[in-house]
Amino acid sequence: MVLDGVTYYRVSTNAWVKASDVYIYVYNKSKVRVNPDKNTRVIKPTGKLTDRALESSTDWKTDRYATINNEMYYRVSTEGFVKASEVHEYK
């Protein structure tokens, strides 16, 4: 629904949430390895940078990916995502 120019998603019969307060993801249980050339920064689902980074050539479990700021990211912690172009996925 769009109300006064703001998009909302219906989450139950009588409840709505602002689209800007949530992210849409695809379930994808897998693993990712950080590219060997540099560390990768971790962002929040809102797109804001955290003060954390993952070391190059380290492996991480992931359970989903999402599009954040028009780029694909893998989730590596409850509120942490890394850019898909800075890791490679494997099963």
> Domain for residue 66, yes or no?
yes
Strands of 15-18's sheet in order across = 2-3, 6-12, 15-18
Query: Phi and psi at residue 13, in whole multiples of 5°?
Result: -55, -45
Cα–Cα nearest to 54, from 76, 71, 69: 76
CATH number at residue 72: 2.30.30.170
- For 31-64, b where at least 16 C-beta lie within 10 A, e where not — what string? ebebeeeebbbbbebeeeeeeeebeeeeebebee
Domain count, the chain: 1
pLDDT band at residue 63 using 50, 70 and 90 as cut-offs: very high
Q: For residue 91, what pLDDT band results from cuts at 50, 70 and 90?
A: confident
Q: What is the pLDDT of residues 43-52, one digit of tens each?
A: 999 999 999 9
Q: Which range of residues forms the domain containing residue 46?
A: 23-90
What is the distance between the alpha carbons of residues 59 and 39, in angstroms, rounded to a whole number? Answer: 12
Tell me if 27 is assigned to some domain: yes
Percentage of the chain surpassing pLDDT 90? 90
